[in-house]
Amino acid sequence: MNLADGLNEQYERFPILGERRKRHCSTLSGGERQMLAMARALIARPRVLLLDEPSLGLAPQVTAQLMRTIRELCETDDLTVLLVEQNAKSALRIAHRAVVLHLGSVVANGDAQGVADDDDLRRYYLGVVVS
């Protein structure tokens, strides 16, 4: 695949970037900058993609779209994503596996749904209120 094909593929994945392609990146919103960072990485066709806090500072609606895109990448592009994210609720919705760290130590490791369903983990580490 050449660069033009890679760009076109990413413009299809992130249409807003195609609309904004003539603008300087400093004028993009936070969500658009995250899309741009992902698109730049994806053009290289990686097998593994590390994303560090991609939702940081983004509006909930933009975060939801970003998480959907990450899930779609894993499902359709045979891509493994290592997601480091404090927004546990969003991350656990799209993850297959989860590792919860506290002060550098692993406090949970396993199936993402199992981690999400653990009331003690949710209460003490994931910031999710258990009713």
Q: What is the mean pLDDT of residues 3-32?
A: 90
Residue with tokens 């009331």: 119
The pLDDT assigned to 96 comes to 93
In a domain, 114, yes or no: no
| Domains identified in the chain, total number | 1
Nearest to 63 by CA among 43, 89, 37: 89
For residue 49 the two structure tokens come to 């993609």
pLDDT 10s digits, 19-57: 998 999 899 988 899 889 999 999 999 999 999 999 988
Residues 6+ apart with CB under 8 A from 27: 20
Domain boundaries, position 51: 3-95
Here the CATH number for the domain that contains residue 31 is 3.40.50.300
pLDDT 10s digits, 48-98: 999 999 998 888 888 898 899 899 988 887 889 999 998 888 899 999 999
pTM, two decimal places? 0.80
Quickly list H helices, 25-96: 30-43, 60-76, 88-94
In a domain, 111, yes or no: no
In a domain, 88, yes or no: yes
